[in-house]
Amino acid sequence: MSNPMKVARAHPLVKALPFFALALLFLASSAFGQQSYVSRFDLYGGYTFLDAPSLSLTNSGFNFQAGVRAKTWISLGFDCSVASGSLTLTPNLLTTALQQELGAELAGLVAEGVIPASYTLVLPTHSFTETFTGGPQLAYRHFAKFTLFIRPSVGAIHEAATPQPAATDVVAKAIVAQLAGPSGKETDTTIYYGFGGGVDYLFSKHVGLRVQADLVHTDLFNTQLKNGENVVRFSVGPCFNFGKNIRK
């Protein structure tokens, strides 16, 4: 059926920003002086959180990155993430045509006395998301203890949405069978584009802590959802630098 959802909650990235701002201020006192060692390669793996505010999509999972530094200020690399979570499907998030079709069906069931006039269609849904990105990343290495970076975010996103209606809601089960087909789920793959950035705090020349975020736009399930969506991906975890020192 797609991944329309509606859950009102504070954005976790907004909650985390004050903490990271204070952390950076605390670390800055030991961070001045340019980096003398910049490795050729870097790897990252950590926790990731995906959130689409307009749809209240919330997925948690794992983010992996690998890069090759062509110069001290630019890297080329690959990024992928896998995350899953839950959402709630409601008719108001669908295209106008689908809303009218569904409204007519529900009105008919009300007229026949199958459901009460107060019936509201609510479909708890499981969501599984994969992202794949490749491209450049620009770094600023003026500080000895941390590296700031920014990047364009252009890639592909794959989404699988599986409605899980309540066992007692026979109407919701019938609608899922009608719209999602025998598999009981809908999948879609499309491009996304946006930008991202973050900071690496360096414990040593080989190990650090990466905190980063990306904001992208995508049009998943555009034949079913009435609007595209803006997706925020937040990620935090260890990063590893290895290979020869390219600053020399």
CATH of the domain at 148: 2.40.160.20
Domain count, the chain: 1
CA–CA dist 15, 12 (Å, integer): 5
Average pLDDT over residues 160-176: 87
In a domain, 131, yes or no: yes
d(CA 96, CA 83): 30
Tokens 């009105």, residue?
Answer: 107
Output the CA angle 156-158-161, nearest 5 degrees.
Answer: 155
Which range of residues forms the domain containing residue 111?
A: 12-245
Average pLDDT over residues 187-198: 95
* CB-based contact 36:66 (threshold 8 Å): no
- Is 7 part of any domain? no
pLDDT tens track for 201-246: 999 999 999 999 999 999 988 888 888 889 999 999 999 999 999 9
Instruction: Report phi then psi at 127, rounded to 5.
Output: -120, 135
Question: Per 3-state DSSP, what percentage of the chain is helix, strand, and coil (rounded to 5)?
Answer: 20, 55, 30
User: Hey, what are 176's tokens?
Assistant: 């899922």
Per-residue pLDDT band at 31 (split at 50, 70, 90): very low
